[in-house]
Amino acid sequence: MQQDLDFDVVVVGAGLPGLALCAALRRTQLSIALVEGRMPEWPVGGWDARVYAVSPSSARFLEGIGGWAHLDHSRMQPLARIEVFGDRGARLDFSAFDVGVGELAWIAESGLIARELWEGVKRQANVALFCPARPVALGRVDERSTLELEDGRRLGAALVVGADGVNSWVRGQAGLDARFTDYGELGVVANFRCEKPHLGCAWQWFRPDGVLAFLPLPDQHMSMVWSAPEATARDLLQHDATTLAQHVAAAGDHVLGALEVVTPAAGFPLRLMEVPKVIAPGIVLVGDAAHAIHPLSGHGVNLGFADVRVLADVLATQDRGVLGDVRVLRRYERRRAEEVRAMQLTTHALHELFRPQWPALSWLRNSGLNLTQRMPVVRNALVRYALG
């Protein structure tokens, strides 16, 4: 018979938001259990296939929780400028200089940030790590949530946080609905060495065969995200390295000259996921468990960091006995609902507007880009909004 282990908070999932939540609660009196199903693996040498545009507000948040200052900045690229192209010659650009900031974002590998957070959380006095470990049952008795692990251990807590990604087990167990809209696309990612310097510029093309983005990485490298219809994406994934490099260089108008693959292509299905309620008694969802958006805005992980910042803020000011009370959790839900909804609506609307199947909208979308380009006030307001 296994004994129950008691905590204030159990976090399921050690992706970036789950780790960041533990780190954000490091100066509180709360005892935390972090349950992760897989032993973490960091790419050795080479470049991580998953690369993020970390917004300045996420960078400030990470700095405040000790997950930024010691990152290897030689592997991170400040983003100075973004150029966006429509499908009929329209063009829009944004620059850090125009809005008076040092950078629009930092382009950084997922593994780089995850490793820094993981190493910090591992040493954190108020966190107990359960890894690898998977939960098999979730219950609620006398205002306490209980989580039973595969190996029979039982964890009790006032609050269970579902930070377990888009197919969240916690969300399913708590009976919280998720509405999926399948884009019928895969996000194909790969990293390349480039012939020409990128000068800190990112490019995005709304093409008939999807949305192609080049994100700059240090040492004349770049990370590609091509959100492409499934058939096109499958073709891209089947190309050998030379053909892929030539195909991507041509699709990007050779802005970076010849390309050489340094991280092979990988594909991820793209879906919009809306979760009308992200809380239940003793349960709260953060990160991709609470929302998923199309990667064209490059904002997924930034939404997750913002969730965690708000949740940590709410939890840090409460008595430990009431952490799972829906009246407390509603403060988190209310504070996050507007931004999440706005980001989902905007990325979904942009995606629909640029669907090649709707050529009648071609004039509208290209005129929209050109018009915004000619209105610096609107353009800079958009950038300031994106900078948070």
Ligand X SMILES: Cc1cc2nc3c(=O)[nH]c(=O)nc-3n(C[C@H](O)[C@H](O)[C@H](O)COP(=O)(O)OP(=O)(O)OC[C@H]3O[C@@H](n4cnc5c(N)ncnc54)[C@H](O)[C@@H]3O)c2cc1C
Q: Is the separation of the CB atoms in 22 and 11 below 8 Å? A: yes
Please say which residue, 155 or 366, places its beta carbon nearer to ligand X. 155
3-state secondary structure of 259: strand
Give me the least distance between CB of 149 and ligand X, in Å please: 9
Please say which residue, 8 or 164, places its beta carbon nearer to ligand X. 164
Give me the least distance between CB of 156 and ligand X, in Å please: 17
Q: What element of type H or E holds 346?
A: helix 326-353
Identified binder of ligand X from the candidate list 9, 25, 31, 52, rule CB under 6 A: 52
Please say which residue, 30 or 138, places its beta carbon nearer to ligand X. 138
Q: What element of type H or E holds 4?
A: strand 4-6
Q: Does 35 bind ligand X (CB under 6 A)?
A: yes
Distance of CA 165 to the CA centre of its chain: 10
Please say which residue, 71 or 225, places its beta carbon nearer to ligand X. 225
Please say which residue, 256 or 290, places its beta carbon nearer to ligand X. 290
User: Which region holds residue 200: left if phi is over 0, alpha if psi is between -120 and 50, else beta?
Assistant: left
Give me the least distance between CB of 89 and ligand X, in Å please: 26
Please say which residue, 8 or 307, places its beta carbon nearer to ligand X. 307
Q: Name which of residues 95 to 124 contact ligand X (CB under 6 A).
A: none
Q: Does 94 bind ligand X (CB under 6 A)?
A: no
Q: β-strands 81-85, 201-207: how paired?
A: parallel
Beta strand residue intervals within 127-255, DSSP E:
127-130, 135-141, 144-149, 154-157, 159-162, 179-194, 201-207, 210-217, 221-229
Q: Which stretch binds ligand X (CB under 6 A): 177-185, 298-306, 311-319, 337-345?
A: 298-306
Which of 293, 376, 369 shows the shortest CA–CA distance to 361? 369
Q: Which stretch binds ligand X (CB under 6 A): 120-128, 242-250, 291-299, 363-371?
A: 291-299
Q: Does 216 bind ligand X (CB under 6 A)?
A: no
Please say which residue, 17 or 86, places its beta carbon nearer to ligand X. 17
CA–CA distance, 225 with 162 (Å, rounded to integer): 27
User: Roughly how many angstroms between the first and final C-alpha of the chain, as a whole number?
Assistant: 50
DSSP output for 75-119: G-EEE-EEEEE-TTS-EEEEEHHHHT-S-SEEEEEHHHHHHHHHH
Q: Name which of residues 183 to 202 contact ligand X (CB under 6 A).
A: 187, 189
User: In this chain, which residue has its C-beta nearest to ligand X?
Assistant: 15
Residue ranges that bind ligand X, judged by CB under 6 A: 12-18, 35-38, 52-53, 134-135, 163-165, 169, 187, 189, 225, 268, 287-289, 295, 298-302, 304
